[in-house]
Amino acid sequence: MRFIATITFSGLLCLTTSSFGTTTGYTHVPGYASLLNSQLQTDTAKNKKADTSTVDTALLKLSPQRKSGLLELKLKSTKINPEKLLTYPAVSIQQYLKGQAAGLYVQETSGEPGTMQNMFMHGTSQPLFSAREQFQTQPLIVLDGVTLVGEHPFSFDIQQYKFNRIGPATNLLTNIDMENIASIEVLTDIAAIAAYGPRGINGVIVLVSKTPDKANQIAFNSFFSVGQRPQVTTINGKYENAFRKQFYDKYTAAGRFSEDDTYPLYLSDSLSNSYYGPSNWTDLYYRNSISHNVNAAISGGVERANFRFSLGNVRNQGVADKTVLNRYSTQFNINMKPLQWLTFSALVNGNRVERLRNRNQRDRFGQMNYVPDLSTPLSPNKEMYGNFLSNTDNGFDDNKTNILEGSARMAINVGTFSFASRFGADYNEGYRDLFYPKTLLEGNSYASNYYGFNQRLIFDNTAMYDLKLNSSHNFHFELGQSITWDTYKYNYGYAYKGFNEFIKLNLLDGGGGSSAFPKQLLYKFLDKTENNLLSFYGRAVYNFKDNYTLSALVRADASSNAQPTSRWFVSPVLSAAWNVKNELLSTNDLFNQFSIRVSAGRLGRIEHFDNSAQGPQYTAELGFTGNITTPGYNAFAGLTRPYTYGWVGYGIPWAYADQLNIGTDISVLKDRLRLSVDFYTKTDKNQLLGLPSYAEYGYTQSFESGMSVNNKGIDLTISGDVFSTGKFSWTPALNLNFNANKLMALPRNLDQIIINDKMLKVGEPIDQYWLFTNEGIYTSDADVPVVNGVPMKYNGITLKAGDPKWKDLNGDNAIDFNDKSLNGNALPKVAGGFNNDFKYGNWNFGVNLYFNIGRQLINQEMANRFDFINQESGNTINSVKEITFWEKRGDFSKYPIYNPWSTVIPYRIDQDLFLENASFLKLRTVTAGYDLSSWFNSKSKRPGKLYVYATANNLFTLTNYTGQDPELVSYTGYDNGYGMTIPKTYTLGIRLGL
């Protein structure tokens, strides 16, 4: 549980002025987060200009002397106005922030409400093989100084199929009610993220809640949203039969669908209404969804004691498979100042999230660790599909998550000395009770129970002292300590073949309830992992005439997940800023701001998994066939080496990152044109990598340190007041990030290595695909190259007519893995957003565009469609056909007609035939609003605010990608077609304040 360095920055919520002049507000820095909140909010309200920009790249300022702003440490911070985000009917912080900050890339892999989404800042620090790496590369989220804990993926260790984590698998960042948020900042600069210690190494997103005010206030905000049912083209058995017939006509005798060709039975009877009749399943699968959001808040008090209390509810319906997320939220914060030098504050943020999940067969079979007979897919006929849904509804799938954040803090301010102490906690628990009746699975019923929690406890202290020698020389000193305790735990049980489907069970109870299932088919699991982090730091800042600022920070962190011989890691960070405007251009009227920033440092990377903490380890896994089912043998508990997981040795040091940031902030023409450019290079070193080795001892891999990955790129933010005359104004704002990654080193000084379906090669990007190069088709046996009388082979198999023509890269007249090459990038080279804000009188209009450039995807869904022979001959989880199998997707005409019976597997996924350009431009939001405050005030006879608006979201996508949607792909870069569509939505909302 790490709250490391929420106090490690300057420890102050300080009043700042935007470097671009469009937004004046307060910037959150760890430490005195609520000190003098009321006064700060009052000052902010007095000085705030009209806000016309969603994204504002500002300078994060350190002002240890609260009254005079004696000292400023200028660091880059991308500041986002939450008010501009509230018109979007989102339920997670990832959805809100997509395309809003340069350097922050969001993957929304499904339109199903409440599902997991990924965020990456400045690329990824390691290859993304699994949820393990995905978890370790996510940025840190901080809510009012509380560093939020994510859902640890260690439960994947007991899963054969790793599509979804056991339990509710709900996105824990759906706990943020944006109506309660006053400011959002995205931190990427090394000097800024170092303040949060090793947990902030992937970047930090700082959220600050709205603070109480001594004036009594009431707010009510609500919207009603309709999601448009997608228009799709359905197919049935007749279409599928015609699609397959071209293969039979070309590669079978007389084009006959003979028994020897194993033609599927469900397509054999053209008179079957189930598969050849109406394909009207979409009436039961897709719908026009209805969503709403309601939030009410009250705040008040006096100068020395005030509070704010809010309640909210969000119900977000998906347009597919009757999916729903329902969230109930509440927040309470209070400030008390019994003495002029003493302040107490407390915060409680609570959420209950309930989710109706999809009814995908793949997810169901993956959950059950059981694959039934897949020879007959779901029928596209409405009646037949309705029977399947009725059987599903005879069971239940209850998913509930409770999330609670809280903090209590005390701050002392005596002259130029300050001290703050805080205790914080983030706790979430999830429940999933699941039952599938036997009518769904060959007479085999299934039940599972899950309970798990993630907990982070935080305690930190900070002392600060300001020294002003004279008007030119100013110093700031601070010392801090923090300790964080993280705990992750789950209890899980599942069982097959229940005796009675009318009995409600608790498989985790261990009592009489479990007797409803045979004891031999009841499996129970429990696991727990902990991670503690102790941190100390010191910082000194020197400022000369407000023209030059120098800062040095040194911190020491000790992690319980580090090996005993390398428990501590020391991080130094240096930063400097030069105010060019004050120094050289003070009389120049063109420049209103011109500053240059540079920071460099080293920061430790915390290991979130405890597998490597003590060297060689043991496990209770004694299962078989990929399922972990047996913790003992013949009633005797047993331990064994972790052969499946891999060997872990001694002498593993801390991983760390060396980072350099250089940036400039410029505003000209009376702040009408604002530009921020930042160059960064970050090299993550000493990272662990599982190398395939020690097979002679039974291991699958050996985890060794030494992997190094570099990310370098440019963040650009530019905005301006193009028109600002009379009643009309137009403020465009463009943010984009260019990022390139490169593998710098591998363990054992290897030059390259093959892991699963990836090749890692030093000097090449880590997000590339390892593929054969497709050059067409061999139309006859004579077309196959022959050298010395030997025709070309693929892994020893002679190529023939109807086989793919793969490029022989090494010229040895044989196709094997040596002829694969690295192609494409799973992550975009350029990503960003383009926001446009228009105002005319009381009208406000907004247009938001979101784009990815230089990203490629593997269209796995299309590969599976063409590889029907192998998909249906093998009864594996990859052979599952969802009801969306009967939806026409992709361009069938662009693929050659290979011989699907060939043993070379011509439609294999590891070839560039299925690699597609997935760059896109989306019109994400169009908003129109009208400010009725003047009319409202005249009617209510008291000051207030009334604003009504309408938005349309996800209106269109411009892309060359032939799949469903270039966004609906996970971190793997493979589009398997399981992501639910992100709907077009139309929203009406109202915002009322009194």
User: How far, rounded to the nearest angstrom, does the alpha carbon of residue 342 sit from its chain's CA centroid?
Assistant: 39
pLDDT on residue 59: 47
Average pLDDT, integer, range 258-282: 84
Average pLDDT, integer, range 911-919: 98
CATH of domain 11-16+21-225+290-615+650-753: 2.40.170
Give 793-833 pLDDT, tens digit per residue. Answer: 999 999 999 999 999 999 999 999 999 999 999 999 999 99
**Which is higher by pLDDT, 541 or 517?**
541
- d(Cα 885, Cα 862) in Å, to the nearest integer? 11
Asked whether the predicted pLDDT for residue 875 surpasses 90, the reply is no
pLDDT on residue 35: 27
Half-sphere exposure of 806 (CA within 13 A, CB side): 34
Least confident of 724-733, 767-776, 961-970: 724-733
Asked whether the predicted pLDDT for residue 372 surpasses 50, the reply is yes
Give backbone dihedrals phi and psi of 384, rounded to 5 degrees, phi first.
Answer: -65, -40
Residue 32: pLDDT band with limits 50, 70, 90: very low
Least confident of 42-51, 131-140, 166-175, 383-392: 42-51
User: How far, rounded to the nearest angstrom, does the alpha carbon of residue 959 sit from its chain's CA centroid?
Assistant: 22
pLDDT on residue 369: 87
Give 213-243 pLDDT, tens digit per residue. Answer: 767 889 999 999 999 999 999 999 999 999 9
* CB under 8 A, 24+ apart: contacts of 727-730: 727/839, 727/840, 727/841, 728/838, 728/839, 728/840, 729/52, 729/837, 729/838, 729/839, 729/840, 730/836, 730/837, 730/838, 730/839
Residue 622: pLDDT band with limits 50, 70, 90: low
Give backbone dihedrals phi and psi of 510, rounded to 5 degrees, phi first.
Answer: 80, 5
**Which is higher by pLDDT, 187 or 513?**
187
Average pLDDT, integer, range 71-79: 68
Give backbone dihedrals phi and psi of 388, rounded to 5 degrees, phi first.
Answer: -60, -45
Mean pLDDT of the chain: 88
Average pLDDT, integer, range 73-84: 82
- d(Cα 86, Cα 73) in Å, to the nearest integer? 31
pLDDT on residue 640: 82
Determine the Cα angle at 303 with ends 302 and 305, to 5°.
Answer: 65
Asked whether the predicted pLDDT for residue 510 surpasses 80, the reply is no
Strand intervals (E) in 228-323 = 289-302, 305-317
Q: Is the dihedral angle over the CA atoms 794, 800, 803, 807 positive or is it negative?
A: positive
Contact 79, 44 (CB under 8 A): no
pLDDT on residue 214: 66
- Find residue 414's DSSP bridge partners: 417
- Contacting residues for 725 by C-beta, under 8 A, at least 6 apart: none
**Which is higher by pLDDT, 284 or 40?**
284
- d(Cα 449, Cα 434) in Å, to the nearest integer? 6
Contact 516, 493 (CB under 8 A): no
pLDDT on residue 255: 60
Give 452-480 pLDDT, tens digit per residue. Answer: 999 999 999 999 999 999 889 999 999 99
Q: Is the dihedral angle over the CA atoms 604, 659, 128, 882 positive or is it negative?
A: positive
Residue 263: pLDDT band with limits 50, 70, 90: confident
Asked whether the predicted pLDDT for residue 841 surpasses 90, the reply is yes
Residue 38: pLDDT band with limits 50, 70, 90: very low
Least confident of 200-214, 493-507, 841-855, 980-994: 493-507
pLDDT on residue 627: 61
- Contacting residues for 702 by C-beta, under 8 A, at least 6 apart: 646, 647, 648, 649, 690, 691, 693, 694
Kindly list the domain boundaries of the chain, sorted by start residue: 11-16+21-225+290-615+650-753
R_g of the chain computed on alpha carbons? 30
Among residues 415, 408, 535, the alpha carbon closest in space to that of 9 is found at 535
Average pLDDT, integer, range 83-97: 94
**Which is higher by pLDDT, 31 or 777?**
777
pLDDT on residue 29: 36
pLDDT on residue 944: 85
- d(Cα 923, Cα 956) in Å, to the nearest integer? 6
Percent of the chain with pLDDT over 90: 76
Place of tokens 């892991």: 755
Asked whether the predicted pLDDT for residue 274 surpasses 60, the reply is yes
Residue 14: pLDDT band with limits 50, 70, 90: very low
Residue 252: pLDDT band with limits 50, 70, 90: confident
Other C-beta atoms closer than 10 Å to the C-beta of 157 total 18
pLDDT on residue 257: 59
pLDDT on residue 46: 34
Query: Is residue 344 within a helix (H) or strand (E), and if so which, with residue range?
Result: strand 342-356
Average pLDDT, integer, range 717-736: 92
**Which is higher by pLDDT, 386 or 15?**
386
pLDDT on residue 499: 85
83 three-class SS: helix
pLDDT on residue 157: 86
Give 107-135 pLDDT, tens digit per residue. Answer: 999 999 999 999 999 999 999 999 999 99
